[in-house]
Structure 1
Amino acid sequence: MTTQTPAPATARTAVRPNLVRDSRNVLVRELRPVLRDPFTLIFSLVQPLVFLGLFAPLLIGQSGQPAGETLQWFVPGVLVMIVLFGTGATGSNLQYEMMTGSHERTLVAPLSRSALLVGRALKEVAPIVVQAIIIVLIAWPFGFAINVPGLVAGLVMLAVFGVGLGSLSYALALKTKDREWLFWGVQQTLIFPLLILSGMLLPLSEGPDWMRAVATVNPVNWVVQAERALLAGQFAGPEVLWGAVAAVAVAAVGLTVGIRGMRRSS
């Protein structure tokens, strides 16, 4: 009499969440639509190009200075504008995924909840760098002087700042969920005061005292000033230090709030 030994069951290896690996996977997933349809990246340049083409000539005419000097002041503000408007609206993509049920499917995947936020936030770096370089190259023939080390340092600061703003935008989307009107209402209410009180488009030196006082606590203002210093090749000024502090602080707060919101997401 022979005894049949049952075949051993195949052991299933559980995939454990890993922040670095999962963030990379989410980053690749988020970048694929951008690579497949780069027109969205180009279309998002319309607004900064309008400001560069229509607002800059007004500043040049009013200042009475050479076009190159005025562009040296104005272009860094346009680069920060790209980050402010671009990353500030990215939460709408996550909100769309929540409304269609796509986000709920990713929540049950064997991925770190933190990576779902970090990977999305890192994805914002690529459009920021590409768009900033395009704007600088467009301004170059009109007298804008390119300082390569300063430009590289400025792009790094913009990337850090953009990660923070993008994370805050995702956190807002998680909070408002399917109330799209609320997301855009809060986003628009915050973004325009931050823009105006940063001296991005017009200098605040001639503004009222209260406006200058509020600008001193506006992190966008410090990033704008730091970008102007860096793109001019000035690395040792206090503006660069305060701009770096502001960018890192926004990134830290954004990632903390965003990760907490993603972990609580259901």
Structure 2
Amino acid sequence: MKIARDTWLIFQRHVTLTVRSPVLIMFGLVQPITYLVIFTPFLLPGLASLGATTYADAYRVYVPGLLVAMCLFGGLFSGFGLLAELRSGVIERCRVTAVSRVALLLGRAASDVTVMLAQAALITVLALPFGLRVPLADLVLSYILLALIGLMTTAISYDITLLIKNEQTLGQVINSLSQPLALLAGVLIPLALAPAWIRDVALWNPFSWATNGMRSLYGGNIGDPAVWQGLLVVSVLAVLTILWSARLFTRAVR
């Protein structure tokens, strides 16, 4: 109970700080909105081989990939916020309080994931005028999948931050990690259009399973095995990365 209460307190603190800086959230939406409005129409001819005949079809294929990309990049870059608090002494001051060390991690991670989901919801709403329609049950399950992706990437980012603790090196590592993961997940163009060897390599990328699951949900195919495979893969990895992060974090602020 103490961990849950402390996590809620830390979550409230970080959400309050985020609400006071809405400009940061809006700047984080500039690139996704640009891709949503300008890039997606270019995909229609290329997606014709997958059965896309209208712009609504193109958005059903592209928007779920875009949302996965947002959670992937947003989660992996969340470590910079943790590093800033480590450098400014915020974590050090929290260490002398009775707040649970694990709660310091979980509350912050929950706040980051909440921001990602809010941004994803806005992108989904903005896609409605372009013909995007998603059944409610599929939409709810897709956001559960996005939350798990956000938790996993946030935990990975915290792990890397706690191990490196250097802004320049952290940026290089995150960029080197995020780009191939995103491309091999098919967030821009479905992997069905890729060469066979790329599809084989992508099988080792958990984000490709998540993207396939998201596209099935946005296509209204909640019973597709890809949905449950993506949920299973991401759920297991999210639990493992959070446990590892909690262990590293507890050692770092002891």
Indicate conservation of the 8 Å contact 2:142/2:214, yes or no.
yes
Indicate conservation of the 8 Å contact 2:41/2:58, yes or no.
no
Q: In structure 2, the residue corresponding to 1:242 is in which secondary structure?
A: helix
Task: Note if 1:210 corresponds to 2:197.
Answer: yes
Q: In the aligned structure 2, how far is the partner of 1:237 from the partner of 1:91?
A: 34
Query: What is the Cα deviation at residue 97 of structure 1?
Result: 1.2
Indicate conservation of the 8 Å contact 1:77/1:201, yes or no.
yes
Indicate conservation of the 8 Å contact 1:165/1:250, yes or no.
no
Query: What is the Cα deviation at residue 232 of structure 1?
Result: 2.2
Runs (4+) of structure 1 exceeding 4 A deviation are none
Count, aligned residues: 249
- Write out aligned runs for 1:20-35 (5 A): 20-35=4-19
Query: What is the Cα deviation at residue 63 of structure 1?
Result: 3.5
Backbone CA RMSD of aligned residues: 1.5
From 160, 167, 175, the equivalent of 1:180 is: 167
Gaps of 5+ in 1: 1-16
Indicate conservation of the 8 Å contact 1:194/1:220, yes or no.
yes
TM-score, normalization: structure 2?
0.93
Name the amino acid aligned to 1:251.
Answer: A
Q: In structure 2, what is the equivalent of residue 18 of structure 1?
A: 2
Query: What is the Cα deviation at residue 204 of structure 1?
Result: 2.0
- Write out aligned runs for 1:43-192 (5 A): 43-64=27-48, 65-177=53-165, 179-192=166-179
- Percent identity among equivalent residues? 33
Q: In the aligned structure 2, how far is the partner of 1:151 from the partner of 1:125?
A: 17
* Superimposed CA distance per residue, residues 37-58 of structure 1 (whole angstroms, 9 cap, x where no aligned partner): 2222121111211221222111
Q: 1:117 to 1:240 in 2, by over 3 A?
A: same
Q: In the aligned structure 2, how far is the partner of 1:155 from the partner of 1:57?
A: 24
TM-score, normalization: structure 1?
0.89
Q: In structure 2, the residue corresponding to 1:201 is in which secondary structure?
A: coil
Gaps of 5+ in 2: none
Query: What is the Cα deviation at residue 225 of structure 1?
Result: 0.8
Q: In the aligned structure 2, how far is the partner of 1:81 from the partner of 1:122?
A: 18
Query: What is the Cα deviation at residue 23 of structure 1?
Result: 0.8
Indicate conservation of the 8 Å contact 1:149/1:233, yes or no.
no
Indicate conservation of the 8 Å contact 1:56/1:71, yes or no.
yes
Q: In the aligned structure 2, how far is the partner of 1:206 from the partner of 1:233?
A: 21
Task: Note if 1:257 corresponds to 2:244.
Answer: yes
From 197, 210, 216, the equivalent of 1:223 is: 210
Q: In the aligned structure 1, how far is the partner of 2:17 from the partner of 2:205?
A: 33
* Superimposed CA distance per residue, residues 224-248 of structure 1 (whole angstroms, 9 cap, x where no aligned partner): 1111111222111110111101220
Indicate conservation of the 8 Å contact 1:140/1:146, yes or no.
no
Task: Note if 1:193 corresponds to 2:190.
Answer: no
